[in-house]
């Protein structure tokens, strides 16, 4: 791997121990994946923020990087933390957890990382342009950045994303290079895809097939004529979760699709496949649901507006979490949506989500519109799940 004189100097410690460690991580990654050089990145999104996932070892490493003079040299935002930074007690998060979670956030802040704590950074200012080289972690956001925005990133882990932030670089391999962005499998969708659980189930149906297939992981998906931002964030979260997909092309929807031809190898997905995926994500009976959650990925303002409309004048009968970012919550406050939602008894779980918060085993069954949330609720938090359309999730909370 060819390094510049500047990069050699950083490796020798010219910019301090944190930058030195960061470049060591990136150089090792580059060698493993056969990169020829580093490239500059203009935006970073870091995952691995919840103390529930990091533990003491992760916190110690972050503190060392902060003490070692680590400073983000490009715009860098953070994935959800393990708790709402302001409202954690009402959500049942202990003070002991909160102390450690704050230490994590303090370390990031000391390094100049913007502590946004959201998996949808593209909704509030970390919005890369087409073709921009970036280094993002968080699989749903990576897929959204590559496919929907046309930016270029690999699926970074927490440490490599932080390393990119502290050096402004990443090794040039994978989805940074034209040749790895070519579609490899034509997925022909012959099903009615109209709402977020449909898009989530489609992501699972494709993801499951791709995981078991020997063919490539850049699907070229036809049969979808239009998709909203909310549909696409749901689809990206799901196809990344179930298939490890970091990039897809969708003619008429995603910006790079028109530059590629349709691959010869084809996979057809029918309504039966879609219905099977939905059925597999619903394991709870309606009378078991004691937890309702919307916001995986984090809700947009438009979705919060919809929740407010549906909850206006009603009362919830179950624990109901609305998960979103602090900036979007701020707009919801200003628009009066928060007041309506909280008057109904639902709770905002800002900065966090139902997966990274330490709530394992606290509920029996969760209703949601997110295929990704169903997967992690079952595997990580041991909840049964019910995948429902968005409006039905809100109704479930009031029944």
Work out which of 355, 359, 367, 393 binds ligand F3S, going by CB under 6 A: 355
Q: Find the part of the chain contacting ligand F3S (CB under 6 A) among 169-177, 254-262, 267-275, 350-358.
A: 350-358
Please give the angle made by the CA atoms of 65, 107 and 331, to the nearest 5 degrees.
135
Work out which of 122, 363, 376, 383 binds ligand F3S, going by CB under 6 A: 376
Q: Find the part of the chain contacting ligand F3S (CB under 6 A) among 82-90, 99-107, 360-368, 372-380.
A: 372-380
Check residue 239 for interaction with ligand F3S (CB under 6 A).
Answer: no
Going residue by residue from 98 to 137, which x/- string records binding to ligand F3S, judged by CB under 6 A? Answer: ---------------------x------------------
Q: Which residue has the tokens 């040299």?
A: 73
Work out which of 372, 383, 393, 397 binds ligand F3S, going by CB under 6 A: 372
- Which stretches of the chain are DSSP H helices? 5-11, 17-32, 51-67, 95-110, 139-143, 158-167, 196-212, 229-243, 271-281, 301-311, 326-335, 337-343, 371-379, 390-398
Going residue by residue from 269 to 298, which x/- string records binding to ligand F3S, judged by CB under 6 A? Answer: --------------------------xxxx
Burial (0-12, 13-18, 19+ Cβ within 10 Å), 165: buried
Going residue by residue from 64 to 83, which x/- string records binding to ligand F3S, judged by CB under 6 A? Answer: ---------------xx---
The token pair at 301 is 């303002």
Contact status, residue 252 vs residue 179, Cβ threshold 8 Å? no
Check residue 232 for interaction with ligand F3S (CB under 6 A).
Answer: no
The separation between CA 32 and the C-alpha centre of its own chain, rounded to angstroms, equals 25
Cα gap 274→270, rounded to integer Å: 6
Work out which of 23, 117, 237, 269 binds ligand F3S, going by CB under 6 A: 237
Burial (0-12, 13-18, 19+ Cβ within 10 Å), 259: exposed
- In the complex with ligand F3S, which residue's Cβ is closer, 232 or 355? 355
Nearest distance in Å: CB 237, ligand F3S: 5
Check residue 224 for interaction with ligand F3S (CB under 6 A).
Answer: no
- In the complex with ligand F3S, which residue's Cβ is closer, 113 or 355? 355
Contact status, residue 88 vs residue 52, Cβ threshold 8 Å? no
Interface with ligand F3S in residues 141-200 (CB under 6 A): none
Contact status, residue 265 vs residue 227, Cβ threshold 8 Å? no
Element (H, E) at 77: strand 75-78
Work out which of 66, 356, 359, 394 binds ligand F3S, going by CB under 6 A: 356
Q: Which chain residues interact with ligand F3S by CB under 6 A? A: 79-80, 119, 140, 237, 295-298, 323, 353, 355-356, 372-373, 376
């Amino acid at each position: 791997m060819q390094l510049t004189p500047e990069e050699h100097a950083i490796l020798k410690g010219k910019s301090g121990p944190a930058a030195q460690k960061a470049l060591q991580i990136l150089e090792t990654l580059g060698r493993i994946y056969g990169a020829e050089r580093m490239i500059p990145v203009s935006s970073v999104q870091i995952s691995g923020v919840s103390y529930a996932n990091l533990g003491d070892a992760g916190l110690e490493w972050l503190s060392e990087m902060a003490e070692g003079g680590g400073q983000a040299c490009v715009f860098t935002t953070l994935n959800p933390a393990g708790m709402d930074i302001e409202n954690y007690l009402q959500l049942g998060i202990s003070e002991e957890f909160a102390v450690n979670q704050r230490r994590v956030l303090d370390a990031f802040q000391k390094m100049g990382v913007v502590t946004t704590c959201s998996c949808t950074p593209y909704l509030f200012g970390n919005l890369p342009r087409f073709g921009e080289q970036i280094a993002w972690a968080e699989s749903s956001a990576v897929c959204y950045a590559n496919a929907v925005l046309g930016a270029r990133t690999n699926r970074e882990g927490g440490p490599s994303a932080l390393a990119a932030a502290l050096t402004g670089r990443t090794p040039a391999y994978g989805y940074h290079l034209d040749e790895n962005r070519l579609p490899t499998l034509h997925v022909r969708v012959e099903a009615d895809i109209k709402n977020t659980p449909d898009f989530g189930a489609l992501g699972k149906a494709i993801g499951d097939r791709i995981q078991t297939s020997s063919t490539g992981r850049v699907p070229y998906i036809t049969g979808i004529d239009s998709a909203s931002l909310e549909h696409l964030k749901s689809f990206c979260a799901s196809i990344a979760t179930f298939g490890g997909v970091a990039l897809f092309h969708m003619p008429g929807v995603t910006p790079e699709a028109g530059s590629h031809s349709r691959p010869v190898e084809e996979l057809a997905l029918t309504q039966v496949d879609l219905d099977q995926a939905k059925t597999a994500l619903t394991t709870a009976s309606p009378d078991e649901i004691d937890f309702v959650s919307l916001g995986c990925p984090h809700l947009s303002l438009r979705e919060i507006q919809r929740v407010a409309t549906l909850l206006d004048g009603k009362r919830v009968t179950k624990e109901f979490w609305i998960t979103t970012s602090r900036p979007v919550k701020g707009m919801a406050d200003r628009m009066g949506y928060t007041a309506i939602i909280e008057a109904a008894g639902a709770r905002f779980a800002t900065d966090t989500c139902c997966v990274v918060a330490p709530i394992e085993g606290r509920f029996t069954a969760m209703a949601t519109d997110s295929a990704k949330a169903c997967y992690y609720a079952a595997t990580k938090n041991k909840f049964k799940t019910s995948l429902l359309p968005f409006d039905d999730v809100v109704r479930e909370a009031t029944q």
